[in-house]
A and B are shown apart, each in its own frame.
Chain A
Amino acid sequence: MSLLDYLLPYDFSPLTILSYMLVMGFYGVGLIRMPEQDRPGSLRIFAFTLGVLICYAVMQTRFDYYAQYMFFVHRGQHLILHHIGPILIALSNPLPVMRFWFAKISPGWRHTLRPLGWVYNVLQQPFIALFLFVGLIYFWLWPSIHFDAMLSRDLYWVMNWSMLLDGLLFWWLIFDPRPPAITSSLGYGRRMLVLAAAGVLQMFLGAWIVFSRDMVYDVYEVCGRAWPLDPEVDQLLGGMLTYIPPAMMSILGILLMLRRAMHQDGKYTNQSKQLEETAS
């Protein structure tokens, strides 16, 4: 197989390619056109591009072939779509680019798009966001549903896209750069609680897969593996990928939130005192 075969999609999806092109196109054009002082630094641009690229790579290259026929590669794919990719994108803080494009939307359109904002606000309620984030992992790993998702091409695409979109929503809620003291973003304490809960719940599932004696996901058995790997090793590796890295990412997220909270401690109190004074 040539290098090109590894880079070309295994299961070509025009909609997926179009979506990625639009995201990168809007980001790039926004960067060039926006005023110099708002433009994110090169590290942030790099983080955003890397996040988008790795998500694209696991969906539209040969990687997807291995993800379809190996359980542990599939777990790696979801680790990128639901965790690492969205984390990079959220940490890169693309807010200035989004603000730039939002300012270009005409007031009429903004009015029509308002329901979208309401849906967003409901989805970003901490409890709902946590329920969706962990619930989707449990849902797609429910053995009978997982079996169907790996057999049906449509379900497979729904699964991967739902993981990516939910990952973006969740990690944006967690890493929202706007300080909660002066904006409507979620408070740091709550962010840490949500992260801890998500970590624990994912560890339960991961541990269950790792310590299962029986084959939980036999669809890979039935439909053939990409190469002859021992089924138990495949399940063990996949379980570990569900168990360890997500838990580590929850802890890293909590540490990052602690750091931010400590940095901002006392920073906005003067402002709020002033506000109180002017109000009284």
Chain B
Amino acid sequence: MRTRFWRQRTNIISATLTLIAALLLTGCFGNDEEDWNGKNISGLMPELEFDLINSQGKSVSGDDYSGRVRMLFFGFTSCPDVCPTALQKLNQATSGLDPALQDEVLTLFVSVDPKRDTPERLAKYVDFFGDNIVGLTGKEPQLRELAKRYRTTFGYDEPDADGNYAVSHSSAIYVFDREGNPRLLMRPDLSGEEIRHDLAALIQEDA
């Protein structure tokens, strides 16, 4: 009798647990309320913090640029395609914003190739992609620390006969709100229009 009772009980328990698991799963797959083109990363990553040098050679931290919506992008100036395309697109997206909003957003271009990218070279490179962009770099350990913080990495290929080498790096754009909270992760295949839509929404939500 007793074993039968327990057998029935465990059946009920297993059915309940399956139901709970199913409910949890549907909860996880629910859509975000907001209609972002980028991927919502609120709560998944730590807030914006770094310890780097800018293109004037001065050391800067995350607080130095607070109060604006910031887009963090890893790259290097000798990058043949990914970086110029992405930076061009970001420039397009921001320059198409309402002029009053344009100064509310800042692109942080972090070069992960400090050996070749001196502050001067970095300054020349970022100036080419508009006004609201800052070039940043640092010593390799500092850059590794930042990359690890945002769950990404970079690596160097073997140099060719001329000493040129490719650098593998993240192709994503990390977007932080004015308080420095991580908000969106943009894949490079988004259009300038789609990026602009998200940026405008982020700028206006805090204003």
The CA of A142 and the CA of B29, in the complex, are separated in Å by 10
The CA of A155 and the CA of B151, in the complex, are separated in Å by 12
Contact of A68 with B21 in the complex, beta carbons under 8 Å: no
The CA of A142 and the CA of B28, in the complex, are separated in Å by 11
Contact of A226 with B153 in the complex, beta carbons under 8 Å: yes
Contact of A125 with B14 in the complex, beta carbons under 8 Å: yes
Contact of A153 with B151 in the complex, beta carbons under 8 Å: yes
Q: Is B59 an interface residue (CB 8 A)?
A: no
B window 45-78: CB within 8 A of A? 45-46, 74
Q: Is A8 an interface residue (CB 8 A)?
A: no
B window 141-187: CB within 8 A of A? 147-148, 151-155, 157, 166, 168-172, 185, 187
A window 136-171: CB within 8 A of B? 139, 142, 144-145, 147-148, 150-153, 155
| Chain B 15-43 per-residue mask, 1 if CB under 8 angstroms from chain A, else 0 | 00110010001001100000000010101
Contact of A224 with B21 in the complex, beta carbons under 8 Å: no
Contact of B17 with A122 in the complex, beta carbons under 8 Å: yes
Stretch of A20-28, A87-95, A97-105, A127-135 with 4 or more beta carbons under 8 angstroms from chain B: A127-135
Q: How far is the CB of B5 from chain A (nearest CB, A)?
A: 15
The CA of A196 and the CA of B34, in the complex, are separated in Å by 43
Q: Which residues of A contact B151 (CB under 8 A)?
A: 68, 150-153, 223
Q: How many residues of A contact B (CB 8 A)?
A: 30
| Chain B 70-108 per-residue mask, 1 if CB under 8 angstroms from chain A, else 0 | 000010000000000000000000000000000000000
**Interface footprint category on B:** 20 to 34
Q: Is A108 an interface residue (CB 8 A)?
A: no
The CA of A228 and the CA of B154, in the complex, are separated in Å by 10
Contact of A151 with B44 in the complex, beta carbons under 8 Å: yes
Q: Is B10 an interface residue (CB 8 A)?
A: yes
Q: How far is the CB of A170 from chain B (nearest CB, A)?
A: 15
The CA of A151 and the CA of B187, in the complex, are separated in Å by 14
Contact of B10 with A151 in the complex, beta carbons under 8 Å: no
The CA of A226 and the CA of B147, in the complex, are separated in Å by 12
Selected contact of A222 from candidates B18, B25, B154, B172, CB within 8 Å: B172
Contact of A226 with B185 in the complex, beta carbons under 8 Å: no
Q: Which residues of B contact A145 (CB under 8 A)?
A: 28
Contact of B14 with A144 in the complex, beta carbons under 8 Å: no
Q: Is B201 an interface residue (CB 8 A)?
A: no
Give 16 new A-B contacts, CB below 8 A, not counting A11-B148, A222-B172, A222-B187.
A65-B153, A68-B151, A69-B152, A69-B153, A122-B13, A125-B14, A131-B18, A151-B44, A151-B185, A152-B45, A153-B151, A218-B187, A223-B172, A224-B153, A227-B168, A228-B166
Residues of A within 8 A of B (CB): 11, 65, 68-69, 122, 125, 127-128, 131, 135, 139, 142, 144-145, 147-148, 150-153, 155, 218, 221-228
